[in-house]
């Protein structure tokens, strides 16, 4: 992947988190500490500030650098979670990844996050977005012309589906049934990131999917 395209994707992904800080904050106020939106914005701004230094870096080097920034600047559990995911993707992805490569990298990311937080799919975390994305991409065939659109939709649908899940991990788990009906903030952040990447790759400019 050309370095200038990597920069555009990073800019798009971080900007969508900045633009949706109020929404992410409101989601976290309902079932968490209320700081997820602000933490993600802090990390996004820190990454954007580094972009001039990263001009010409490969996809893998950029992902690793982003992961380290997340770990050092994003508060709460989100820093280690998103940082670990990015560093893992940096290790696993080839320079010009196809759908199958992304699927394998996501599986490695899921395994790394499971070890990190002792969380599993179905426990109202961003794993509940990564898992359906991994399965979708693993079944993608050559010449799948609508893959970006389906990937985008899968991410938003999966995030919205967390509203129907019991919270097992994190502060939301203390709420019991009161967490039902609320979208997991980390899952929503993941969907926003995936959606912005898909839109950038397809050249589209669309509003994000609805949060439940």
What is the rounded distance in angstroms from the CA atom of residue 182 to the CA atom of residue 197? 25
Is residue 131 in some structural domain?
yes
Range of the domain at 76: 3-202
Q: Looking at residue 30, what is its pLDDT? A: 85
| Sign of the dihedral defined by the CA atoms of residues 57, 58, 63, 64, in that order | negative
The whole-number pLDDT of residue 167 equals 63
Q: What contacts 30, CB < 8 A, 6 or more positions away?
A: 182
Handedness of CA 210, 109, 114, 29 (dihedral sign): negative
Residue 210 included in any domain? no
Q: How far apart are CA 123 and CA 169, in angstroms?
A: 7
Quickly count: other Cβ atoms within 10 Å of residue 101's Cβ. Answer: 15
Q: Residue 120: left (phi > 0), alpha (psi -120 to 50), or beta?
A: beta
pLDDT score of 172:
47
48-104 pLDDT, tens digit per residue, is 999 999 999 999 999 999 999 999 999 888 999 999 999 999 999 998 899 999 999
pLDDT tens column, 18-44: 999 999 999 998 877 889 999 999 999
Establish if 11 belongs to a structural domain.
yes
Q: Which residue has the tokens 């370095």?
A: 3
Tokens of 76: 């709460």
Q: How confident is the model at residue 179 (pLDDT cuts 50, 70, 90)?
A: low
Is residue 62 assigned to a domain?
Answer: yes
Of 139-143, 177-181, 192-196, the least confident: 177-181
Model confidence band, residue 180 (pLDDT cutoffs 50, 70, 90): low
Q: What is the overall mean pLDDT for the chain?
A: 90
> Would 209 be classed as within a structural domain?
no
Mean pLDDT value of segment 5-17: 96
Which one, of 73, 22, 24, lies nearest residue 47 by Cα? Answer: 73
Total domains, the chain: 1
User: How many CB atoms are located within 10 Å of the residue 195 CB?
Assistant: 24
Across 122-150, average pLDDT: 92
User: Is 56 within 8 Å of 39 (Cβ atoms)?
Assistant: no
**Is 54 within a domain?**
yes
What pLDDT is attached to residue 175? 43
Residue 35 falls within a domain, yes or no?
yes
Q: How many residues does the structure list for the chain?
A: 212
pTM, full prediction: 0.90
Q: Over 50: is that where the pLDDT of 174 sits? A: no
- Residue 40 belongs to a domain: yes
11: closest CA among 58, 60, 65, 50?
50
Cβ(163)–Cβ(180) below 8 Å: yes
Range from 98-112, 132-146, 196-210 carrying the lowest mean pLDDT: 196-210
Phi/psi at 41 (5° precision): -65, -40
| Whole-number Å distance between alpha carbons of 115 and 117 | 6
Task: Residue 87: give its domain's CATH number.
Answer: 1.25.40.340
């Amino acid at each position: 992947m050309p370095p200038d395209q990597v920069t555009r994707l990073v800019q798009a992904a971080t900007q969508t988190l900045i633009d949706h800080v109020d929404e992410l904050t409101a989601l976290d106020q309902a079932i968490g500490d209320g700081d997820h939106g602000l933490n993600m914005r802090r990390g996004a701004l820190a990454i954007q500030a580094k972009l001039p230094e990263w001009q010409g870096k490969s996809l893998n080097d950029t992902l690793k650098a982003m992961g380290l920034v997340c770990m050092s600047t994003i508060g709460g559990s989100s820093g280690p979670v998103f940082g670990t995911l990015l560093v893992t993707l940096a290790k696993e992805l080839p320079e010009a990844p196809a759908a199958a490569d992304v699927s394998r990298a996501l599986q490695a990311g899921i395994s790394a996050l499971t070890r990190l937080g002792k969380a599993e799919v179905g426990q109202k975390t961003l794993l509940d977005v990564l898992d359906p994305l991994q399965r979708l991409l693993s079944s993608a065939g050559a010449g799948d012309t609508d893959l970006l659109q389906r990937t985008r939709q899968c991410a938003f649908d999966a995030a919205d589906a967390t509203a129907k899940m019991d919270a097992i991990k994190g502060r939301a788990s203390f709420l019991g049934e009161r967490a039902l009906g609320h979208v997991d903030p980390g899952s929503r952040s993941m969907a926003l990131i995936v959606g912005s990447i898909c839109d950038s790759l397809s050249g589209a400019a669309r509003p994000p999917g609805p949060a439940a």
